[in-house]
């Protein structure tokens, strides 16, 4: 299987796309971020997962979901019976947006213009992968999927027909689970997240 990410025999079209994305100046986020973090996974993946934007660790590593939120996502996917290697993983916005606090880089939410500017890359990925199911992790991803703003609560947990074909599914972002102070609540929310992923995957069967 051709892979769109590192470690595989990416086809020329993927390589060209990634090279072009690496030099993207469609919005200002490239000015401060280390690098573009493009999606990765099998080019023929049936399922696509869309996050918000790379975090600090992803920005340094150049790969999506390799930091703390990625660890939660990995655990949830495993619990839902989804093999990460079969999924195309990407982000709604492909540069890390942050504010500096001393040595630390604190995540900042991408705005509507940045999401829109990055839509080009998302559409390129979709047109190549043509996923049957696309899961939006959080409100920013949902906005990229559906082309309009909305709350996760209002859209969550049901299949949504996407205009370009295939189904979408909206759930929480894994970093939300990392921010919950109450342990019992976090466990409940984690279970609901796993359930969402499993339900979405079931629609592929």
Quote the least distance from Cβ 184 to ligand URA, whole Å: 24
- Among 5, 39, 91, 134, which residue sits at the site for ligand URA (rule: CB under 6 A)? 91
For the chain, the distance separating the N- and C-terminal CA atoms, rounded to the nearest angstrom, is 20
Residue closest to ligand URA, measured at CB:
51
Task: Specify the residue, 66 or 202, whose C-beta has the smaller distance to ligand URA.
Answer: 66
How many angstroms separate the CA atoms of 69 and 140, rounded? 15
Pick 50 or 194: Cβ nearer ligand URA: 50
R_g of the chain, CA atoms, integer Å: 16
Smallest separation, CB 68 to ligand URA (Å)? 8
What residues from 48 to 67 belong to the interface with ligand URA (CB under 6 A)? 51-55, 58, 64-65, 67
With contact defined as beta carbons under 8 Å apart, do 204 and 132 qualify? yes
Q: In angstroms, what is the minimal distance from the CB of 162 to ligand URA? A: 20
Q: Is 89 in contact with 47 (CB distance < 8 Å)? A: no
Question: Per the structure block, which two tokens stand in for 43?
Answer: 């080019």
Give min distance, CB of 83 to ligand URA, in A.
Answer: 18
In whole angstroms, what is the distance from residue 170 CA to residue 7 CA?
Answer: 29
Q: How far apart are CA 105 and CA 123, in angstroms?
A: 29
89, 65 in Cβ contact below 8 A? yes
CB of 69 to ligand URA, least distance (A): 4
Cα–Cα distances in angstroms (integers) from residue 91 to residues 49, 71, 139, in the given order? 8, 16, 12
Is residue 140 a contact partner of residue 93, using CB atoms and an 8 Å limit? yes
Applying the rule CB under 6 A, the residues between 147 and 176 that interact with ligand URA are 175
Residue among 6, 10, 54 at smallest CA distance from 32: 54
Give the interface segment with ligand URA, choosing from 45-53, 98-106, 118-126, 177-185 (CB under 6 A). Answer: 45-53
Candidate residues 41, 70, 131, 168; the one interacting with ligand URA per rule CB under 6 A = 70
Residues in binding contact with ligand URA, number by CB under 6 A: 13
Our CB check for ligand URA shows the closer of 69 and 139 to be 69
Q: Which residue number, 14 or 176, has a Cβ lying nearer to ligand URA? A: 176
Residues that bind ligand URA (CB under 6 A): 51-55, 58, 64-65, 67, 69-70, 91, 175
């Amino acid at each position: 299987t051709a892979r769109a990410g590192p470690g595989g025999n990416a086809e020329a079209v993927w390589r060209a796309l990634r090279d072009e994305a690496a030099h993207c100046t469609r919005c200002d986020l490239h000015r401060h971020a280390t690098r573009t973090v493009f999606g990765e996974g099998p080019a023929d993946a049936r399922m696509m997962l869309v996050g918000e934007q790379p975090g600090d660790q992803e920005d340094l590593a150049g790969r999506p979901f390799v930091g703390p939120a990625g660890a939660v996502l990995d655990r949830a996917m495993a619990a839902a019976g989804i093999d990460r290697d079969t999924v195309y993983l990407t982000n709604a916005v492909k540069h890390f947006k942050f504010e500096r606090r001393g040595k630390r880089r604190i995540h900042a939410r991408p705005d509507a213009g940045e999401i829109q500017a990055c839509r080009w890359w998302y559409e390129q990925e979709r047109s190549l992968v043509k996923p049957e199911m696309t899961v939006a992790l959080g409100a920013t991803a949902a906005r990229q999927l559906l082309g309009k703003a909305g709350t996760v609560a209002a859209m969550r947990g049901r299949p949504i027909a996407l205009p370009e074909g295939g189904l979408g599914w909206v759930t929480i972002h894994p970093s939300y689970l990392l921010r919950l102070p109450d342990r019992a609540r976090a466990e409940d929310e984690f279970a609901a997240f796993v359930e969402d992923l499993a339900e979405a995957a079931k629609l592929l069967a």
